[in-house]
Structure 1
Amino acid sequence: MDLRIYQEDGHGNAVDEHANEPVELEVDVDGYPLADTVDFDSYMEFKPPEKPEASIKANKMVSTAASGPVSYYKKHGDDVKVHFFYLVYEEGLTAGKAGRQLGIARRTAYDWLKKDQDLIVESRDGLETKKTEKKVGRPALLNEEHKKHLEETFIDHPSATLDQAIESLTNQFSDLKVTKTTVYNFMTEKCALSFKKAHFHSKERNSPVSIEKRFDWVTRWIQTDMHYNSNCVFIDESAFHINLKRTMAWSKKGTRAEVIQPLTQAKTTTILGVISPYGIVNKRKTVGGSKMQKSIRTVTGHYFNFTASTIDVMDRHEEFKGHYIIIDNAPIHTSDNIRKFIESRGCVYLPPYSPELNPIEQFWSVVKSKLKREKLLEAETLSTRITEACQNALISDLKGFCRYSESKFETCLNKNPL
């Protein structure tokens, strides 16, 4: 039990021995209940085994002849592929850099990306990518003028489809007749264009004000003993729903990829989470209570209860003594009661519009990527699937998320966009 004595400070304010004002909220498990999903104890008990540095199972020996040279290749599981495409599509890394980070051969990484992009284009535009032999002596249909026009078109309209690209070409060059395959090959080979998942950022994310705030934040905190991979925990919430699905789907060539969604309403489930380089600290699900507001957003009461339970977990484990609590500056996180409650524990608020600096943002993306691979039919399975995905997180992955966010400090110090 935490007993605090408050006294008048001479100015009409009640303060404790550390000059902290009393918190007006109190833990109310009936009014703002939270369902257990994963905490540090359960995570450590059931966490998956770490992948060895050089896995014997992951490597196979291939011989071209009895006395010929021997080469090695590595098999990669679905989790590695999920992480690879997250780094490429969500974080904007090249296939080579993402491959190096995950121990994937350069050629394999680029093969994965090319196959994935071919499938994306086929799925979206019904394009057949059958390879045909190039006819010797046949003049090229598209030239430098067409290249310049296409490059300008996709700079102005990066989400344009192949049909729109062809329409733009034929409007500009009235005598031109080309197929989708011809345009696609020309775009990828001659224009060096590739089809990627689009990134939608708010205008303020890389405004001069936001860049300056990130510079000030990093400049301040690198002078302290705060280190992401040794003495920090990271808090954030994320919304899940039963109709969470992949943005692409398989279909027969020439037919549109369609997914029939369940008739159940896409009820949102909000998961509050805390991760650290030592493991998952706390995960809770908000559920309806006597004071539940009609809103899909986490109310302050839920967040207060979650913060209190997180601090309880940290107090029970020596690993988290003296740890900083890293949190973004969303309004719900900066309310007076939340601020009073956690600032004395070493709370660090991130600068605005800076998700790259919070490792748990990457964690949520990977969890959602895993869920999108599963067919969710019943509402009651969603929570168990989320718990399962969280429980299967490797400590090495959590450390990797921390390293990635900390690596962005240099970007902030150089005042470059995130």
Structure 2
Amino acid sequence: MEFKILFDDGQGNIVDEDGNDPMAADYPELDKELEMLTNMEMYSACQYEQHQHKEEQQDETMTQQQQVNTAAKPKKRQYSSHSEDVKSLVIAYHLEKLVSAAKAGKEYGVGPRVAQRWIKEYKESGKQEEPENNKTKPGPKSRLGDEHKRHLIEFIDDNPSAIIDQAVDSLTKQFEGLVIKKTVVHNFMKNECNYLLRRHIFILC
């Protein structure tokens, strides 16, 4: 860069070595330096804006990636716990109604696999007696077979207005030593004898 020495011409004017007014002189080198300085400031400002924009893009990308990772993260499986009472009810329903484990479980809001596991464990344990909730006082076991079915059908045909107590009395008199509950006879007549339509017969007293 060229340096210029300025003087006072004695008349209150500032001139350069050549006697020219420095304010009116043309200094292309100075203009070039000013242009370079201006361009450098513009470049720095542009670089700063680009840097800021790049950081904003990176932050946005990281936020999106975190959202994707959160959405893709598998949810913990929720397990339902059931009491022993529910377990006993499912097993009892399966044995009494002779339905599948899945259907027995559905009756009490238990998943099919859980119900199947319960019933499988029950059978493998060797326990063939009724589940805890279905146990009654010890006494003679009773079963109703084809001969009882025939007797009940004949009894109802002969006594269409009979009630369940009379049906039970008829059974115990006909088959000596038979001990049976009204609910068992009621279910047997409904499921095995197809007397569902004659509901007035099955009034429980």
TM (norm. structure 1) is 0.15
Structure (1 or 2) with the greater strand fraction: 1
Higher relative contact order (CA closer than 8 Å, sequence separation 6+)? 1
TM (norm. structure 2) is 0.30
Larger Rg: 2
Structure (1 or 2) with the greater helix fraction: 2
